[in-house]
Structure 1
Amino acid sequence: MQNKLLGVIDATTHKNGIEDLITNRSMSAIPFAGRYRLIDFVLSSMVNSGIESVAVFHGFQNRSLMDHLGSGREWDLNRKRDGLFFFPSPLKEPDSDQLGSFKQFKQNIDYFYRSDSQYALISNCHTVCNMDFESILQRHISTHSDITEIKHDGQSLEMYIIETSLLIDLVQNEETTGYRSIVDVVRDSRNTYKVSEYEYIGYAALINTIEKYYKYSLEIISPQIWKQLFLKDRPIYTKVKDEPPTRYNKGAVVKNSMIANGCVIEGHVENCILFRGVKIGKGTVVRNSVIMQKSQIGENCELDAVILDKDVKIENGVTIKGTETIPHVLRKGTIQGALMNS
């Protein structure tokens, strides 16, 4: 890339509308699409756009995120120069409204000073997309913009391109200007900067509520959507795990579903996403649902419009039903028995 771009991912944001999935993890580490985490999509887009240095600012519930990203090897970011950097947020409480907090950038200002990238891309961690940031950067340069905000269908994707030197100046003077974040600058109609908008026409899903997580999870089962997101020349990278093939026992029925490795299916699965190691018992019917890693559903159960987080156990004979607008969510490690039938 002629004009180098620095990647900055804010993984500290906390959205109240998705709390059931972030009690033990950050939003960035929420499982998605059978084998990925939400952060994989923005991070892979950065790497595929030629970005060689990425800073991840994270909060305190970071074990799952750190375990997933590791050294950044799967994204070719385990480098002697540049690569993947982790910076813990100095904020005691997550600030749900302030993507790209200047206060947390200021605590690690040396990272920006040492970078030789002329421009910086500041992004949230929970947008599902496969985006070419290089072309957006060229548009930013050609329009002589100070800040470019990336939008989709008129809605902000919480992604911004800015000259690194301007970002440093804003961070260092945040107490004087009163701007707490990049969002504050963009939203201030009185600012003296040229703020441009870039309308992204590819597939993009901003996931910040349970309802959106459920909607967009099932949406990608559609081949039309899948082909827009998973491109051969721009792969979505993730942590590699070795699992045996899924076993479909006699009597198993699977329709219009996405099934990851290591599952054992004896029942009926329709319009669902099953993550690695899920077990579906005999006589069980699961429809319109998202079942995360290593969850076990017993025999003769009926599940419709549910989200099971990791390691959930459903005992025999249980019925659980949500709706398309309000899916029923069971948190990580929950055990649901017949006596607690919902």
Structure 2
Amino acid sequence: MKRKLLGIIDATTYHEDLKDLLTHRSLAALPFAGRYRIIDFILSSMVNSGIRSVAIFPKIQYRSLMDHLGSGKNWDLNRKRDGLFFFPSAIVDSEYNRIGSFDLFAANMDYFYRSTQEYAIISNCFTILNIDFGSVFKWHLQSGCDITEIHDQRGSSLEIYLIKTSLLIKLLETRNQTGYTCVQDVVNDPHHGYSICQYVYDGYAVMIDSIKTYYSSNMNLLQPEMWKQLFLRERPIFTKVKDEPPTKYLKGSKVTNAMIANGCLISGIVNRSIIARGVKIGKGSVIKNCIIMQKCQIEDNCYLDSMILDKDVKIEAGTKIIGTPGSPYVIRKGTKQGALMKS
């Protein structure tokens, strides 16, 4: 199977409801679960399934994404043959409202013409899951389908498709005649003449399309039964490796039901929260039900509840901010927040 599947990740999606977290990055590069980025999950699923050629199609704000992925070394994709490919959109004003824009792909036809893989997996960048595409591929072959669309247990499309590479090329070449703009157009057209099948994935899967789903899906991972569904020993989730010291817990600190990454300095109280790398939490501060991203600084005697702090946020001493699980309070990257506040 290693020589049969091509990985294609559409990283052009922008969800308006997530705009406060996407001012400096693409959706694919949004931090998740303390030490990962959203794209790590679909990319790791591809690599664990034996896929050795992956093309990523970003649109805007992709510097952070390229910095995270680099040469693909952490996913074993820094190869002389195949490996990791980036194809940024040359048409920045064009709108790609659905996954797998044929115009976007057609602008890089040479990549598809030169690919030796017989089949392709086309996926969005914002679905959190850990799927074995080998099982999907075997099911696809046995079913005799032209296109397989992967659904979750509730029957909703995960916007991930398996298609023969030659058929994909045909659809790209004839898009002006057929009017199809993406794979989803083909799937939804009752007169397409192709065999469309639905593969039901029965594992953990969530699509990050709003602040609410981002917050709840992160917080759900604090439940061991949810964590175990996503992080599997036999199919690890890979990410960019950073050499940092262990987190240091100072006298008076207390941590319960939390995920804390490396390089932090904890002097206060942390409860039911996700803390990323290099975060500093001052003495007397209380952090509850929060997502704190990389290198944030929370000074002494602060009280934060139901919040999302983007990278490099500084909370001045004595600050009090309270959100709700249904509407978490979001502070944008690099912001300095001070004075007593109540939401």
What is the TM-score of this pair, normalised by structure 1?
0.98
1:210 aligns with 2:215: no
**Residue type at the aligned position of 2:130:** N
Contact 1:12 1:94 in 2 (8 A): no
Tell me the residue number matched to 1:95: 95
Taking the TM superposition and a 5 Å limit, the aligned residue runs for 1:198-277 are: 198-277=199-278
Against the structure 1 CA distance between its residues 94 and 320, is the aligned structure 2 distance closer, same or farther, given a 3 Å change threshold?
farther
**Partner residue of 2:36?**
36
Could you tell me how far apart the structure 2 residues matched to 1:226 and 1:340 are?
33
- Partners of 1:94 and 1:318 lie apart in 2 by 43
Give the direction of change, closer, same or farther, for the CA distance of 1:96–1:253 in structure 2 (3 Å limit).
Answer: farther
SS in 2 for 1:202: coil
Distance 2:254 2:2 in 1: 52
Question: How far apart are 1:340 and its partner, in Å?
Answer: 6.2
Could you tell me how far apart the structure 2 residues matched to 1:337 and 1:79 are? 48
Cα deviation code 1:113-172 (max 9, x no counterpart): 111111000001111111000110111111111111001121111100000000000011
Deviation for aligned residue 1:13: 1.0
For residues 302 and 93 of structure 1, the distance between their equivalents in structure 2, rounded to whole angstroms, comes to 42
> Are the structure 2 counterparts of residues 94 and 283 from structure 1 closer, same or farther at C-alpha, using a change threshold of 3 Å?
farther
Quote how far apart the aligned CAs of 1:3 are: 6.5
What is the distance in 2 between the residues matched to 1:142 and 1:24? Answer: 44
Q: Which deviates the most, 153-162 or 85-94?
A: 85-94
Residues 20-45 of structure 1 deviation map (CA, whole Å, 9 limit, x = unaligned)? 11111000000001110000000000
C-alpha displacement of 1:94: 6.0
* Map of 2:188 onto structure 1: 187
The structural deviation recorded for 1:341 is: 6.3
Q: Percent identity?
A: 59
In structure 2, the partner of 1:163 is 164
Q: Which amino acid aligns with 1:6?
A: L
Q: C-alpha separation between the residues in 1 aligned to 2:7 and 2:67? A: 20
- Alpha-carbon separation, structure 1, partners of 2:95 and 2:213: 21
The offset of 1:93, in angstroms, is 3.3
Q: Partners of 2:222 and 2:189 in 1: how far apart?
A: 40
Q: Distance in 1 between matches of 2:238 and 2:292?
A: 21
- Output the CA distance in 1 between the equivalents of 2:268 and 2:121: 46
Aligned match of 2:334:
333
**Residue aligning to 2:78:** 78
AA aligned to 1:237 is F
State the AA in 1 paired with 2:157.
S
The alpha carbon displacement at 1:314 in A equals 0.3
* 1:44-74 Cα distance to aligned partner (Å, 9 max, x none): 0000000010000011211100100000000
Look up the equivalent residue of 1:243 and give its one-letter code. Answer: E
- Contact 1:13–1:94 (CA under 8 A) maintained in structure 2: no
Gaps in structure 1 of 5+ consecutive residues:
none
User: 1:161 is matched by which residue type in structure 2?
Assistant: L
Q: Does structure 2 retain, via aligned residues, the 8 Å contact 1:59–1:94? A: no
Mapped contact 1:27–1:38 kept (Cα < 8 A): yes
One-letter amino acid matched to 2:337:
Q
1:50 corresponds in structure 2 to 50
Mapped to 2, the partners of 1:75 and 1:116 lie a distance apart of 20
Q: Which letter maps to 2:286?
A: V
> Which letter does structure 2 place at the counterpart of 1:227?
K
2:315 matched to which residue of 1?
314
Provide the C-alpha distance between the structure 2 equivalents of 1:179 and 1:321, rounded to a whole number of angstroms. Answer: 47
Take 2:191 and 2:142, find their aligned partners in 1: how far apart are those partners? 23
**Inter-partner Cα distance in structure 1 for 2:124 and 2:4:** 20
Q: Distance in 2 between matches of 1:93 and 1:306?
A: 33
Partner of residue 175, structure 1: 176
Q: Which runs of 5+ in 2 are unaligned?
A: none
RMSD: 1.2
Q: CA deviation at 1:96?
A: 5.3
**Runs of 4+ more than 4 Å apart:** 339-342
TM-score by structure 2 length? 0.97
CA apart distance, 1:190: 2.4
Report the alpha carbon displacement of residue 230 of structure 1 after superposing the two structures with TM: 1.0
Deviation at 1:97, TM superposition (A): 2.2
Paired residue type of 2:202: I
Q: How many residues align?
A: 342
